[in-house]
Amino acid sequence: ANGYANGKVVKSFGGGICQASSTLYNSVLLADLKVTERVNHMFTVSYVPYGMDATVSYGEVDFQFENSSKWPIKIEAWTTEDNMVFFRIKGTNDNPNRKVEYIQNIIKTMDFPINYIDDPNLPEGTNIVKQYGSKGHVVETYKVVKEGGDVISQDKIHTSVYSPLYQEVIRGTKKVDKVEGNNSDAQPGTPEEDVLSSEVPQLTGVDDADNPPATIQGGIFEPETSELLEDAAETESDSE
């Protein structure tokens, strides 16, 4: 499956495993259990909201939590035929009126850089996107505790820093003679300005092999609209 390595999207063994660890992480948060180790991805992922992912890399980065309740818990996990993965945590609810929610504030957004690779075999004016880029973000995640519909606390649990993933474009440099009419063999390319301004799709099903800790880098900007996590923990898996 796809994974992140050295700033690129590559095929790798274990790619996609973070979709399972991130789904379990969301279940743990909604169950209000204590998280002892969690690291965000180097780049953003699409299968959970920003600030709600938990990456794992064997022997390097792990996701860990404790049963901080007073009673035993049971963890159930399953997948469906349409590649959905689910986690359910069962236990004893000592306070049925208590509910936890999680809100994410994007406090900084960083544009992705574009790297050009000149290809003398492609006609001048041709641009081929080899790797789509994604923007970087700094995201604060808050835990909101409610009782009977009233907010009794709101605390920041962590800050996630996602680096921009650069876009890689192959650019043709071969000089071609202008031919009148429609008899030219040269294939039209994407103008450079179109590559710079075009919207790029969100990468799906990618996990990172080199993951930095969730620390703030750079200045702080005004927060954008918050996103509220739904009361379910599920994600769509692109891996086999």
Q: What is the pLDDT of residue 226?
A: 32
Angle at 105 between CA 140 and CA 230, to 5 degrees: 100
One-letter amino acid at 77 equals: A
Q: What count of residues does the chain have?
A: 240
Overall pTM > 0.85: no
Q: What is the pLDDT of residue 177?
A: 80
- pLDDT tens, residue by residue, 73-102: 999 999 999 989 999 999 999 999 999 999
Distance CA 32, CA 96 (A): 13
Strands 98-110 and 136-147 turn out to be antiparallel
- pLDDT tens, residue by residue, 143-165: 999 998 899 999 999 999 999 99
Sorting pLDDT into bands at 50, 70 and 90, what band is 203?
very low
* Whether pLDDT at 180 is above 90: no
* Whether pLDDT at 200 is above 50: no
